[in-house]
């Protein structure tokens, strides 16, 4: 990414204040609230930490493949990650999720750890291949038992479970049918059949469901260009709508809520100029509204995407639009970073378009922004910007289902001194709190990614996101500074770092 350097804060702050005024008018007129980056300086910085309502959910998130291990245990089938991780060169250091952090065998200990640190809201995912080893019936009762035991342990410990049905670990047997199971014509039926089993098995105790985690990643990362990303996204949206229809028609008496987890950065326009504002909005359209608008905003894709992609963007039937529109009870977002956006430079016409040439936006970061061990810019102000944007667009309650930071931690000693992770979480929660208390955004929960160090996909165990250090030879768990700090925040004792 290109770095933009900023010479002086003063003109920018004056410009920012003017723009806020302008933005207020803009919002009042019903347009999205989007404004250029300005560092959080001035009186706000010394403001007291916002006061959160008792009902606000402070939690932590994980996913099955990243923590469970037990890849051959309890009748589980293979997922695409089991296969991919066993091909040399695919994952850093040859790491795999075969054992991961052995949560499969140590979940009792892990639940006690959550309880000890006051984390009363826990989001995890179910491995489709534990419930249905080949992706279809028969159901594997040992897999059902594992999640029953986990859910019961959580509830006994006073922890509310939040469950994702799909977090990247597609059953291998489905993938082998055509090379990309999302593109199977009956994928929506396959997924909703699996969802039905999950709702039936655990819905008496689980009251918050997420169908998919980050469909944008499934559609864009590691796929080819042309129309493929849009076809995958289309299929996931239809599968989501089908599963929600199953939940609402067959399991209404469970009185739960259902949604989907979308990922986005916050997109600041490079300036108040119309083309920069349009670029930030275009980034939101191609990254977020691509999924959000069909679900929360009327059942169809953003006009900007339709105009840019033409026939490459699939179309919904009237019946599908009806099913999609309103097919979630809340907005759930994973946010890690932010960028500054201006027009892109793709030649027109582009002979072999990809998602990136389609979006055609230049996303930059400031050299003053620190970066995480993933190389991602750390921009707490993006949290508030995102929440204000979301609430100007859609009238749904919002959960931040993932936010966190990878730090370089080469020993347990350095890991437990992760004060910069505590600072990261503190600063992001403070910005979220301002959106809640100053801007009146209806945000109801915040989940740290992640409670444990875990398998960070292609980076293996080299990237550390956890508030708990895990030693990969002994599998010992050691809480870090950030978890102690998070506990004090949850307890309402001490927000000061």
Instruction: Measure the CA–CA gap between 438 and 390, rounded to whole angstroms.
Output: 15
Decide if 431 is catalytic.
no
- Does residue 218 belong to the site contacting ligand BGC (CB under 6 A)? no
The tally of CA atoms less than 13 A away on the side-chain side of residue 173 is 13
Instruction: Measure the CA–CA gap between 419 and 413, rounded to whole angstroms.
Output: 12
To the nearest whole angstrom, how small is the minimum distance from the Cβ of residue 52 to ligand BGC?
24
Pairing of β 477-479 and β 468-470: antiparallel
Nearer to ligand BGC, 263 or 327 (CB): 263
- Does residue 63 belong to the site contacting ligand BGC (CB under 6 A)? yes
Catalytic residue among 242, 402, 409, 456: 402
> Among residue numbers 330 through 359, which ones bind ligand BGC (CB under 6 A)?
334
Joined together, the tokens standing for residue 186 give: 């009956």
To the nearest whole angstrom, how small is the minimum distance from the Cβ of residue 404 to ligand BGC?
7
Nearer to ligand BGC, 63 or 231 (CB): 63
- Does residue 263 belong to the site contacting ligand BGC (CB under 6 A)? yes
- Single out the residue of 180, 192, 211, 213 in contact with ligand BGC (rule: CB under 6 A): 213
To the nearest whole angstrom, how small is the minimum distance from the Cβ of residue 63 to ligand BGC?
5
Catalytic residue among 68, 214, 409, 431: 214
310 and 278 Cβ atoms separated by less than 8 Å: no
- Does residue 85 belong to the site contacting ligand BGC (CB under 6 A)? no
Nearer to ligand BGC, 58 or 447 (CB): 447
Instruction: Measure the CA–CA gap between 497 and 307, rounded to whole angstroms.
Output: 49
Angle at 280 (CA atoms; ends 278, 286), nearest 5 degrees: 95
- Single out the residue of 449, 461, 485, 486 in contact with ligand BGC (rule: CB under 6 A): 449
To the nearest whole angstrom, how small is the minimum distance from the Cβ of residue 374 to ligand BGC?
7
- Does residue 402 belong to the site contacting ligand BGC (CB under 6 A)? yes
- Single out the residue of 95, 102, 110, 214 in contact with ligand BGC (rule: CB under 6 A): 214
- Does residue 95 belong to the site contacting ligand BGC (CB under 6 A)? no
Decide if 456 is catalytic.
no
To the nearest whole angstrom, how small is the minimum distance from the Cβ of residue 64 to ligand BGC?
10
Determine the number of helices (DSSP H) and then strands (DSSP E) in the chain.
20, 14
- Sheet (strand 361-366) strand order: 3-4, 361-366, 338-343, 266-269
What DSSP string describes 365-434?
EETTS-B-TTS-B--THHHHHHHHHHHHH--S-EEEEEE---B---SHHHHHT-HHHHHHHHHHHHHHHH
> Among residue numbers 453 through 492, which ones bind ligand BGC (CB under 6 A)?
456
What DSSP string describes 98-142?
TTTT-HHHHHHHHHHHHHHTT--EEEEE--HHHHSTTSSSSP-HH
Nearer to ligand BGC, 159 or 406 (CB): 406
Pairing of β 338-343 and β 361-366: antiparallel
What's the residue count for the chain?
A: 497
To the nearest whole angstrom, how small is the minimum distance from the Cβ of residue 402 to ligand BGC?
5
The binding site for ligand BGC (CB under 6 A) comprises 63, 66, 213-214, 263, 334, 402, 449, 456
Q: What are the catalytic residues?
A: 214, 402
């Amino acid at each position: 990414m290109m770095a933009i350097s900023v010479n002086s804060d003063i003109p920018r702050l004056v410009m920012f204040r003017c723009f806020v005024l302008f933005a207020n008018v803009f919002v009042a007129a019903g347009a999205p609230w989007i404004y250029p980056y300005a560092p959080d300086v001035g009186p706000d910085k010394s403001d007291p930490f916002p006061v959160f309502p008792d009902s606000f959910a402070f939690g932590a998130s994980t996913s099955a493949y990243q923590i469970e291990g037990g890849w051959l245990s309890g009748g589980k089938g293979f997922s695409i990650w089991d296969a991919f991780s066993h091909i040399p060169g695919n994952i850093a250091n040859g790491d795999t999720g075969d054992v991961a952090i052995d949560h499969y065998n140590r979940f009792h200990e892990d639940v006690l750890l959550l309880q000890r640190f006051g984390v009363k809201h826990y989001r995890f995912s179910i491995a489709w291949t534990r419930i249905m080893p080949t992706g279809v019936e028969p159901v594997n009762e040992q897999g059902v038992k594992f999640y029953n035991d986990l859910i019961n342990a959580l509830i006994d410990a006073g922890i509310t479970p939040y469950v994702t049905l799909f977090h990247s670990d597609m059953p291998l047997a489905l993938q082998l049918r055509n090379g990309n199971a999302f593109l199977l014509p009956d994928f929506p039926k396959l997924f909703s059949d699996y969802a039905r089993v999950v709702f039936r098995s655990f819905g008496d105790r689980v009251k918050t469901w997420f169908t998919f985690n980050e469909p944008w990643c499934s559609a864009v990362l590691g796929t080819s260009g042309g129309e493929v990303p849009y076809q995958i996204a289309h299929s996931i949206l239809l599968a989501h709508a089908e599963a929600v229809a199953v939940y609402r028609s067959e399991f209404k008496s469970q009185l739960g809520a259902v949604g989907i987890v979308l990922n986005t950065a916050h997109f600041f326009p490079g300036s108040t100029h119309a083309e920069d504002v349009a670029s930030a909005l275009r980034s939101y359209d191609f990254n977020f509204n691509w999924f959000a608008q069909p679900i929360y905003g009327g059942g169809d894709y953003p006009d900007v995407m339709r105009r840019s992609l033409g026939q490459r963007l699939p179309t919904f039937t009237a019946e599908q639009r009806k099913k999609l529109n309103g097919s979630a009870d809340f907005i759930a977002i994973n946010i890690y970073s932010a960028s500054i956006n201006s027009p892109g430079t793709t030649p027109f016409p582009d002979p072999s378009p990809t998602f990136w040439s389609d979006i055609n936006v230049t996303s930059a970061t400031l050299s003053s922004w620190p970066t995480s061990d993933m190389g991602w810019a750390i921009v707490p102000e993006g949290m508030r910007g995102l929440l204000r944007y979301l609430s100007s667009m859609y009238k749904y309650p919002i959960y931040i289902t993932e936010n966190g930071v990878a730090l370089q931690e080469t020993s347990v000693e350095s890991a437990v001194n992760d004060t910069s992770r505590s600072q990261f979480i503190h600063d992001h929660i403070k910005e979220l709190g301002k959106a809640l208390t100053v801007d009146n955004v209806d945000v109801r929960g915040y989940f740290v990614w992640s409670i444990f160090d875990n398998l960070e996909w292609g980076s293996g165990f080299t990237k550390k996101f956890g508030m708990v250090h895990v030693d990969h030879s002994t599998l010992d768990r050691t809480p870090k500074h950030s978890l102690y700090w998070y506990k004090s925040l949850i307890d309402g004792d001490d927000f000061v770092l």
